[in-house]
Structure 1
Amino acid sequence: MVRPPSSRFAPVETAAPVEIQGLAARLAALRMIDAVLRRGDPLDQAAPPLLRPVPRADDRALATAIAQEVLRWLVDCDALIDQAMKLPLPHDAKARSVLRMMLVQVLRLNLPPHAVIATGLPLLSGGPRRLAHGVFSAILGKGEAALPAAPSLPEPVMLRWGQAWPDRLAPIAAALAEPPPLDLNLADPATTAAWAERLGGISLMPGHVRLARGQAVEHLDGYAQGAWWVQDLAATIPARLIGAAPCAGARALDLCAAPGGKTLQLAAAGWTVTAIDKSPRRLERLSENLTRTQLSAEVIAADALTWQPDHGFDAILIDAPCSATGTARRHPDVLHRQPALDDLIALQSALLARASGWLNPGGTLVYAVCSLEPAEGEAQAAAYGGTPLPVTPDELPEGIAPTAQGWLRTDPGMLAEAGGLDGFFAARWKA
């Protein structure tokens, strides 16, 4: 058993030499982990500036994979570290983060221990390198070190989800063990069989093709001509619940639209779409995808709580800001960032109340969140006073059924044999 030093180290202050091959990628990964755990930043927002000093694309991908795997298996890595020490190592010690990185590289990414040591210990320049080496060697020394089949959830998440989904907690955790496959949504659902064969994938419903993860999207057949876009299967269902435009010129509003997958779906289904989002930067990606797919929509950067349309809409889709806990397969950092649920719930309620006044008579309203928190999904739908338009089984992938209330509820453990899907909630009403 190894004794820790008494001092702590903040990863953000790491200043290791980067001449060692592969060290720049590990330094970027360390700083990304620090941004999530110490500052509470979303990983996809923290990563781009931290990856800029890493010149090679494969090293940037490795840095991202290391950070994601540490966040996915954090609880279990910490258990291995704690078992190898006589005294506890502070949770925020830099040595602990470096050890987490070293462990996932061997146990998850199958990198050789000697290479992991060579690129890990220099991150502790001026710090407890001997301690880290000793703990790492002690963990791997018996040749029996292993992570469990499913990642252990952080205690706050386990308590919330265990109360909300007691019968689903084990399948959800099991589904978080691996990043998700690559889902494509087709602009023309009639071409589903052809594209599934062409790309070597499978389809779980019309307009969907699933491929193995790890492929470079921009190099896939059909990308340049805009035949499809990347979108998780569960994320496509809310726009599917609106359906095709009933007539030429029918207007649809996509509220909180960026990055735009649902806007593309509505446009491809024949709607005249208005897409609203607060973030001009995120709307740039939506505009790029509209250009690539040769679809059209009116894109407006505005706050939905102050923006006022000059006409009504025949369909409104509210993909509301939420905790995003349903996306933990691809964004494991959400497991370690405590969601400000009270603020999010208030915003969601305000969006529902405001948007409902813009719906034309006979129009359709869909509310959706990529969340596993019932307070953001089921509770919001129960509190809304509209006329329900229940989801029907034939609108969903085979193996997914509507809830007793006629709502959609998915979680990552569903359709596990086919690769799973994100956690989503959606409800639908008629004006």
Structure 2
Amino acid sequence: MPRRPNSPRPDDVPGFPARRAALRLLDAVLRRGDPLELALHGAAQGLPQSDRALVHAIAAEVLRHLPDLDALIDGATKQILPDDAKARMVLRIALVQTLVLGTPAHAAIATALPLVDGGPRKLVHGVFGTVTRGEPVLPDPPTLPAEVVERWTGQWGEAMPQAAAIAYAVRPPVDVTLRDAAETAKWTTELNGASFAPGHVRLPANSDQGAIADLPGFAEGAWWVQDIAASCAARLLGAGEGRTILDLCAAPGGKTMQLAAAGWHVLSVDQSKKRLERLSENLTRTTLSATVVPADLRQWQPDAPVDAILLDAPCTATGIYRRHPDVLHRIGPRQIAELAELQGELLARAAGWLKPGGRIVYATCSLEQAEGEEQVERFLAAHPDFALVPATVAELPEDMAPTSQGWLRSLPDMLADRGGADGFFIARLARQAN
């Protein structure tokens, strides 16, 4: 349909560039499978920071509420729109602004219609009007994608995806790890937070995550942001006492800083030079030291065996779905299998770098057993010179007990009454002494 002679050009509609960027971003995530945070740079290129934040908010909330938005759209159309139809994506963008972000309906549709300029504008306008006139309310908690519910139910039972949905609806808390665990009481008071373990503070639920750098102690490097579950991997390695440890896949450096603060001589290895720059900046801010090594673990190896290793392996990141809702739409059986194969390769390779009697902690921020329990069971079956060293209650934050097998598995119901925790699997293994 040609544009009417007096109608404004799409770029002249206030707010349109941000909505166009949101459309590009969602296409990158849902069609190409790109991670939301990585795709944001390209999709929002040239936009001011305030617009970039809006682009991210629109896309993230569409992904968080995708099944429920689609149910509203399908209930207002005579023929079901294809999943990848542009009209469906534009309707998702318009509806999420009105139903989640608080944008007035007239403003949401005015900035959405130019996205289908030359396309089915009447259809989009009509469906949007039909839905909004019904004064809909999106379900609370949001509906998880059906394939995710099926996969998690098969691994964990029906209660797990129910707990996951409840956790999905709540803003994730901000945890910080302290450089000096002896100052836990001080910083718990200074930050008006709560502590579940030495060296940990959980900020108040209403904390402005955009103003973290302005809080007391940040500029002087007294602490860094790190989820309570993520901090447990380094906790299982204890005091370093000057011994050498490899922190593999180390960037952006939370675990490196924990280990350095605990007295380890740390070699931090990561393939991403850009992420290592952030690690180096964090080390400078906290005045902690580590040797930073840019390398691919499949080709690199240390000069000599080491005392300990922390392998936070590349994974699907389904355990951080609350913060990154795109993983529930990008990750499926193929991605899980591919990453599980890589994890097995890295774990077996890294294990050969340990001194006899040394320990390796294997961790993934995943809720998939293929990337956790099954991975360690397979490794132990193939490496009789290694044994699991069970975690103890005394080593872990309160109410984060190890499983009967001896590893830590944080699921969505863990710490649920206090804001929850990211999904992690952490196991400690030891190489037999000669």
Q: Does 1:343 align with 2:338?
A: yes
Work out the CA distance in 2 between the residues paired with 1:140 and 1:84. Answer: 10
The more displaced of 62-71 and 196-205 is 196-205
How many angstroms does 1:45 deviate by? 0.8
1:303 aligned partner, one-letter code: D
State the Cα distance separating 1:108 from its structure 2 match. 1.6
- Equivalent positions of 1:222-371 (< 5 A) are 222-245=217-240, 247=241, 249-339=242-332, 340-371=335-366
The letter of the residue matching 1:379 is E
Q: Secondary structure at the match of 2:326?
A: helix
**Which position in structure 2 is the counterpart of 1:424?**
424
Q: Could you say if the C-alpha distance between residues 126 and 214 of structure 1 is closer, same or farther in structure 2, counting changes exceeding 3 Å?
A: farther
Corresponding residue SS for 2:11: coil
Amino acid across the alignment from 1:18: D
Q: CA deviation at 1:39?
A: 0.7
Question: Aligned match of 1:148 in 139, 142, 145?
Answer: 139
1:97 aligns with 2:89: yes
**CA offset at residue 23 of structure 1?**
2.1
What CA distance in whole angstroms lies between the structure 2 residues aligned with 1:398 and 1:21?
Answer: 50
1:257-281 deviation per Cα after TM superposition (whole angstroms, max 9, x unaligned)? 1121111111111110001111112
Say which of 126, 146, 170 aligns to 1:178: 170
**1:377: which partner in 2?**
372
Go from structure 1 to structure 2 and tell me whether the alpha carbon gap of 1:413 and 1:123 turns closer, same or farther (over 3 Å shift).
Answer: farther
Matched residue, 1:78: 70
User: Which residue is equivalent to 2:30?
Assistant: 37
Amino acid corresponding to residue 229 of structure 1 in structure 2: W
Check whether the contact 2:160–2:412 (CA below 8 A) recurs between aligned residues.
no
- State whether structure 2 residue 67 is matched by structure 1 residue 67: no
Alpha-carbon distance between aligned partners in 1 of 2:107 and 2:372, rounded to the nearest angstrom? 46
Matched residue count: 413
- Cα RMSD over matched residues? 1.6
Distance 1:210 1:113 in 2: 37
Paired with 1:236 and 1:330, the residues of 2 have a C-alpha distance of 17
Unaligned ranges ≥5, structure 2: 2-8, 381-385
1:155 to partner: Cα distance: 2.4
Checking the alignment, whether the CA contact within 8 Å between 2:227 and 2:422 is kept in structure 1 is: yes
Specify which of 128, 134, 151 is matched with residue 136 of structure 1: 128
TM-score of the two chains, using structure 1 as the length reference: 0.92
Quote the Cα distance in structure 2 between the aligned partners of 1:374 and 1:428: 16
Give the SS at the match of 1:168. Answer: helix
| Alpha-carbon displacement from aligned partner over 1:224-259 (angstroms, at most 9, x marks no partner) | 1111111111111111111121x2x31010011112
State the 1:17 CA deviation.
3.0
- SS where residue 316 of structure 1 aligns? strand
- Identify which range, 410-419 or 262-271, moves more after superposition: 410-419
> Structure 1: which amino acid aligns with 2:308?
A
- Residue 389 of structure 2 is matched in structure 1 by 389
One-letter code of the match for 1:383? Answer: R
Choose 193-202 or 273-282, whichever is displaced more: 193-202
Distance 2:51 2:201 in 1: 29
Compute the displacement of 1:220 (Å). 2.1
In terms of mean alpha carbon deviation, does 406-415 or 30-39 score higher?
406-415
Deviation at 1:24, TM superposition (A): 2.2
How far apart are 1:300 and its partner, in Å? 0.8
Amino acid at match of 2:100: R
The Cα shift of 1:180 comes to 1.2
Q: For the structure 1 residues 172 and 287, does the alpha-carbon distance in structure 2 shift closer, same or farther, using more than 3 Å as the test?
A: same
Map of 2:410 onto structure 1: 410
1:214 and 2:205 are equivalent in the alignment: no
Q: Which amino acid aligns with 1:265?
A: Q
Q: Partners of 2:365 and 2:291 in 1: how far apart?
A: 24
**1:259/1:283 contact within 8 Å kept:** yes
- Secondary structure, counterpart of 1:332 in structure 2: coil
Q: 8 Å contact 2:344–2:375 — kept in the other structure? A: yes
The one-letter amino acid of 2:23's match is L
Deviates more, 1:43-52 or 1:312-321: 43-52
Q: Distance in 1 between matches of 2:108 and 2:190?
A: 39
Describe the superposition over 1:141-199 as per-residue Cα deviations: whole angstroms up to 9, x where unpaired: 122x0111122222221211010111312001211123412221111122222222222
Native 8 Å contact 1:173 1:413 kept in 2: no
Q: Tell me the residue number matched to 2:153.
A: 162
Contact 2:337–2:370 at 8 Å: present in 1 too?
no
Stretches of structure 1 lacking an aligned partner (at least 5 in a row): 6-15
Instruction: Please name the residue that 2:6 is paired with.
Output: none
The Cα shift of 1:103 comes to 1.6
The aligned residue for residue 9 of structure 1 is none
> Do the aligned partners of residues 196 and 18 (structure 1) sit closer, same or farther apart at CA in structure 2, a change above 3 Å counting?
farther
Deviation per residue, 1:14-56 (Å, 9 max, x gap): xx7333332222222111111000111011110122223211x
- Within 1, Cα distance between the matches of 2:202 and 2:22? 29
Q: Deviations over 1:320-356 (max 9, x none)?
A: 1111110100010000113422221221111111111
Aligned to 1:11: none
Q: Cα gap change, 1:21/1:412 in structure 2, threshold over 3 Å: closer, same or farther?
A: farther
- Segment drifting more, 203-212 vs 100-109: 203-212
What secondary structure does 2:141 align onto? Answer: coil
What residue identity is the alignment partner of 1:36? V
The Cα of 1:362 is off from its aligned counterpart by 2.5
> Structure 2 vs 1, CA of residues 368 and 38 (structure 1 numbering), >3 Å: closer, same or farther?
same
Structure 1 residue ranges, 4+ long, deviating more than 4 angstroms after superposition: none
Contact kept, 8 Å, 2:193 with 2:201, in 1: the verdict is yes
State whether residues 197 and 397 of structure 2, in contact with CA within 8 Å, keep that contact through their aligned partners in structure 1. Answer: yes
